[in-house]
Amino acid sequence: MNCTRLVTSDIYYVGSSDRRLALFESVYPIPRGVSYNSYLILDEKTVLLDTVDRSVSTVFFENIKALLDGRKLDYVIVNHMEPDHAATLSELRLRYPEATFVATQKAVDMMGQFFDSTTATPFLAVKEGDSLCTGRHNFSFVTAPMVHWPEVMVSYDSTDKVLFSADAFGTFGALGGNIFADEYDFQRDWLDDARRYYTNIVGKYGVQVQNLLKKAGGLDIKFVCPLHGPIWKKDIAWFIDKYDKWSSYTPEDKSVLIAYASVYGDTENAANILATELAENGVRNIAMYDVSTVHPSVIVSEAFRCSHLVFAATTYNMGIFVNMEIALNDIKAHNLQNRKVAILENGSWAPASGKLMRELISSMKNMTIIEQSTTLKSSVKAQNVDDIKAMAKALAVDLV
């Protein structure tokens, strides 16, 4: 069996996709699956870049065996040690014991943590700026700590001008035959998953991603080969711009996210009134979610996308309603900054969620909470409608 495709004249895609896994990293729903990308280069020396998750190891090893066709494997470049890419390294070592593993010293140390360190594997520990010639190809190595783990590096092949970018520029979603972004309608079918992947997996480390973008800016890049999702050979600048926005916590769209938590529908009613008033004030593409029915990873991703955020929650056990508290803490944990925020609370005898949401949001960087807010006591009353209209107006004026 051989499910490989050519990327350049001698660089092959040898990864595969898992469509059975429900939760990536046991946290993130992936209804469209996920791909684990690996690349094999048939140069004077043979080179494998990263491996795959255990779930797709059978097809991966068959791909390598078919392409090597009896040749030995000379180098394995390990850009990232997270097990979705490195779990099969131990089996690879057994199958190809002569291969030299090329990685940062931190990654070599991690191999000792994850695997039996007594096996005699040849290692080549590399650092920033080191290079490796394998015949036609010349690789240089660029460290990318915390994109997404501390040991990460990316590898640049100056011959075919390929950036092997590790987790950077990856996305959720399985690949089906097509492996290039321009073989899909990426903006229509992939961008939401790419944003949800970036913001939830790497979103916390915006500074480190900005550092990597600066380093990559000095390279002539014709291909970006990530470890998840499609390979980029067209419109690379468009996707880099998305990464630049996400990693600098710059809103991608001038629009409003309304995230609400409602036990019996009254807070939801207020959220609906607000959405209607926003629309009447000319606001378009309003994104509205019930935090109890949508996974927090979607709320995080949409909060990164939108410029203005509204959080509407009832009070629960004298705190913020549980699913809203989870979503807000998740947004904070991913370091979101630079947003305008409006607050709506509900409480039948002692409303407290507004004050608590305000405190939580105020502890994040550069978040501006707009003055207009409202407090429901159980259900929406005339005064609340006036408050909500004022809130909608303030948001709409700020969006222009």
Residues that bind ligand FEO (CB under 6 A): 80, 82, 84-85, 148-149, 167, 227-228
Amino acid identity at 375 = T
Place of tokens 């992936």: 30
- Give the DSSP H/E element, type plus range, for residue 123: strand 123-125
- Residue 273, both tokens: 């009134």
The CB density around residue 220, as the number of other CB atoms within 10 Å, is 8
| CB-nearer residue toward ligand FEO: 82 or 277 | 82
| CB-nearer residue toward ligand FEO: 82 or 345 | 82
| CB-nearer residue toward ligand FEO: 50 or 266 | 50
| CB-nearer residue toward ligand FEO: 107 or 227 | 227
Give residue number: closest CB to ligand FEO: 82
- Residue 102, both tokens: 């090329």
Q: Where are the alpha helices (DSSP H) in the chain?
A: 57-68, 83-86, 89-95, 105-114, 186-189, 191-197, 206-217, 236-247, 266-280, 296-305, 322-333, 353-362, 382-399
Q: At what angle do helices 206-217 and 236-247 cross, to 10 degrees?
A: 150
- Closest distance between ligand FEO and the C-beta of residue 85, in Å? 6
- Closest distance between ligand FEO and the C-beta of residue 31, in Å? 18
- Closest distance between ligand FEO and the C-beta of residue 166, in Å? 7
| CB-nearer residue toward ligand FEO: 82 or 302 | 82
- Closest distance between ligand FEO and the C-beta of residue 211, in Å? 17
- Closest distance between ligand FEO and the C-beta of residue 226, in Å? 9
Q: At what angle do helices 382-399 and 266-280 cross, to 10 degrees?
A: 40
| CB-nearer residue toward ligand FEO: 175 or 344 | 175
- Closest distance between ligand FEO and the C-beta of residue 149, in Å? 6
| CB-nearer residue toward ligand FEO: 32 or 254 | 32
- Residue 261, both tokens: 């938590």
CB 173 within 8 A of CB 79: no
| CB-nearer residue toward ligand FEO: 96 or 172 | 172
- Closest distance between ligand FEO and the C-beta of residue 204, in Å? 12
- Closest distance between ligand FEO and the C-beta of residue 269, in Å? 41
* CA distance linking residue 170 with residue 226, whole number of Å: 5
CB 80 within 8 A of CB 227: yes
DSSP 315: E
Q: How far is CA 323 from the centre of its chain?
A: 22
* CA distance linking residue 236 with residue 224, whole number of Å: 8
